[in-house]
Amino acid sequence: MHRSRLCAIGIDCQDGDLEAASKFWSGALGREVSYREGSYHGLADRANQPLVFVQRVSHPSRVHLDIETDDVEAEVARLEALGALRLEQVQSWWVMESPTGQRFCVVRAQRGPLTDDATTW
């Protein structure tokens, strides 16, 4: 059995000015930019809320969810059984698509061990 939970909201910005996008979302969400790493800018964490990051991407701009898990392959297989499709493996995570076309990622645990606030499958 593995555990999973909503981890993050990713704001994807197609080929745009990442600094300007981060400034906008920082102001809109009331979260300071807390780190800058390559094509990622993270916004300050808030207790009991998903992480939020802004990233530069080559595909059209959109917002996507990240699901964190202690077993990426098991969670991907579970979601496939529900109708999701694997689109692309990127490093240690999978980009997937729901049956209705929304993209999301399945990632390793980002915020420490998955405990009682996670769902056990």
In sign, the C-alpha dihedral spanning 50, 51, 52, 53 is negative
**Which has the closest alpha carbon to 76: 9, 12, 10, 121?**
121
Cα-trace Rg, the chain:
15
| Residue 101 confidence (pLDDT) | 87
Per-residue pLDDT tens over the stretch 79-92: 999 999 999 999 99
**Residue 70 to residue 20: CA distance in whole angstroms:** 34
**pLDDT, average across residues 81-106:** 93
Q: What are the structural domains, with CATH classification, of the chain?
A: 3-113 (3.10.180.10)
Q: Express the helix, strand and coil content of the chain in percent, nearest 5 each.
A: 20, 45, 35
Per-residue pLDDT tens over the stretch 8-60: 999 999 977 899 999 999 998 999 999 999 999 999 998 888 999 999 999 89
| Residue 115 confidence (pLDDT) | 72
